[in-house]
Amino acid sequence: MPRLSRRARLNAWLAHPARVVVTGFAVAVAVSTALLMLPAAAEDGTRTGFVDALFTATSAVCVTGLTAVDTPTHWSAFGELVILGSIQVGGLGTMSLATLIALAVARRISLRMRLVAQAETKHAGPSDLRRMLTAIAGTALAVEAATATVLAARFAAGYDVAPGRAVYLGVFHAVSAFNNAGFALFSDNLMGFVADPWICLPIAAAVIIGGIGFPVLLEVRRVLGGTRAWSTHARITLGGTAVLIAGGTLLVTALEWSNPGTLGPLPGPAKLLAGFFHGVMPRTAGFNSLDMAAMQPDTLMVTNILMFVGGGSAGTAGGVKITTAAILLLGVWNEIRGHRDVTIARRRIPEAVYRQALAVVALGLSLVSCAVIVLLSVTPYALSQVLFEAVSAFGTVGLSTGITYDLPPVAELVLTLLMFTGRLGPLTLGAALALRMRTRRYDLPEERPIIG
């Protein structure tokens, strides 16, 4: 057998979309790490250690927001711009690559399944690639520009920030919000603006829009224009988003209402604003206007669930995604009712999709469990703190109870790996499972093990 040339081997490696995703993000993390290790990237002009630089770079590219060092005091303006660029590349890269994978999946499956996939993703085929990527970038920049304008005006008018600095703060936090990153240029994140709706609401809106996913955003525009009805994917995503935001807001507000460390000292309107803000952020932005370390254990558990589920597919949010969790819950509900098929809104969900959802959730639970075991063995922190940190890393959220700065290098590396696999794992696994679908031309003998 003749040996393949280096170019041929590279083309063969990149033939699978999952490999393209992993390679692209790994290169972005490597470049960002190298830039953050430069003395010019640090405020004091010294070289940042490899582990801290790698952790920050991975957190930025994977739009997580966990930080091993204090962002506004440790990094110089150059370092902050590196982080900002990494967030933008990671966010747009996730949206673009996820949509490209949808196209790749559509080309590798049967004609009927291709038509279904194209209808669900709202992309006609590879010929629309340039238009699609332009629309993704245009949508991101439009939302970021609008958010930055409101934030800059508020920083300048409400906090006497110099115009140039106000614009910089507005742009940084707008990009961080739309890409669901959670990086902030204040040492207490956004706790100083807990009662300011002109800061909290624009950031929350950008987080929600970015986390819904580009296919749904495009469909919203088309439906509002009267050109088509809602698809099943859009119904699940929008309905799930509304339920999770409303449920998260209600639970956080109720559980923390009298907590003297969080909502207790605030007036009523500020309590409602902060409750809403923290109902949105776990999906999966990572900004916080309250002290996470002071929250009740039950509130942290609710936040864990929201972080694990995450946002919409082909968006900037992390987690296992709303559609994955919804399909899995629908499958359980239909199994309890004795129904053979998984259905929603008078549509039947293919069995293969249900199996993919089960595999993605199982992968997520396995990764988080393994990380928690390792973190417990190398740190002195309690299970609740370690679990919160691990779920936040896997869901690419960025919320923390305050232990990140004090973690040993081994724990930082564990969270770095968890952020990387958390961002790419559900996406690449879903693509791999869809692309590996095969039709078996025979059936094996059936046998039913005892369940339960």
Q: Give pLDDT tens digits for 296-329.
A: 999 999 999 999 999 887 778 888 899 999 999 9
Residue 232 lies in a domain: yes
Per-residue confidence band for 243, with pLDDT thresholds at 50, 70 and 90: very high
Give the structural domain span for 363: 16-435
CA proximity to 148, closest of 167, 122, 164: 167
Q: What confidence score (pLDDT) does residue 94 get?
A: 65
Q: What confidence score (pLDDT) does residue 290 get?
A: 96
Per the structure, the count of domains in the chain is 1
Residue 428 lies in a domain: yes
Residue 444 lies in a domain: no
Residue 440 lies in a domain: no
Structure tokens at 241: 């988003």
Give the chain's length. 452
- For 343, the 3-state DSSP assignment is strand
Structure tokens at 25: 């993000």
Burial of 4 (C-beta count, 10 Å sphere; 0-12/13-18/19+): exposed
Residue 443 lies in a domain: no
> Which range, of 218-222, 246-250, 347-351, 427-431, averages the lowest pLDDT?
427-431
Q: Give pLDDT tens digits for 340-395.
A: 778 887 788 888 788 888 888 988 999 999 999 999 999 999 999 999 999 999 99
Question: 227 to each of 99, 222, 223, how far by Cα in Å?
Answer: 21, 6, 6
Give the whole-angstrom CA distance, residue 217 versus residue 235.
12
Q: What is the mean pLDDT of residues 222-234?
A: 73
pTM of the model: 0.86
Q: What confidence score (pLDDT) does residue 315 get?
A: 75
Percentage of the chain beyond pLDDT 70 is 81
Residue 8 lies in a domain: no
Q: What is the DSSP letter of 320?
A: S
Q: What confidence score (pLDDT) does residue 57 get?
A: 96
Give the whole-angstrom CA distance, residue 317 versus residue 131.
23
Give the whole-angstrom CA distance, residue 184 versus residue 80.
10
The chain-wide mean pLDDT, for the chain, equals: 84
Task: Look at 411 and 348; give whichever has higher pLDDT.
Answer: 411
Q: Give pLDDT tens digits for 147-156.
A: 999 999 999 9
Give the whole-angstrom CA distance, residue 30 versus residue 196.
38
Q: What is the mean pLDDT of residues 253-282?
A: 96
Residue 102 lies in a domain: yes
Percentage of the chain beyond pLDDT 90 is 56
> Which range, of 2-16, 43-57, 81-95, 291-305, averages the lowest pLDDT?
2-16
Q: Give pLDDT tens digits for 193-207.
A: 999 999 999 999 999
Residue 449 lies in a domain: no
Please give the sequence-ordered ranges of beta strands (E in DSSP) within 278-346, or none if there are none: 342-344
Give the whole-angstrom CA distance, residue 104 versus residue 381.
44
Q: What is the mean pLDDT of residues 162-176?
A: 96
Give the whole-angstrom CA distance, residue 268 versus residue 112.
54
Give the whole-angstrom CA distance, residue 27 versus residue 8.
20
> Which range, of 110-114, 182-186, 304-308, averages the lowest pLDDT?
110-114
Per-residue confidence band for 244, with pLDDT thresholds at 50, 70 and 90: very high
**Residues 80 and 172 sit within 8 Å (Cβ to Cβ):** yes
Annotate 353-367 with DSSP letters as a single string. Answer: HHHHHHHHHHHHHHH
Per-residue confidence band for 10, with pLDDT thresholds at 50, 70 and 90: low
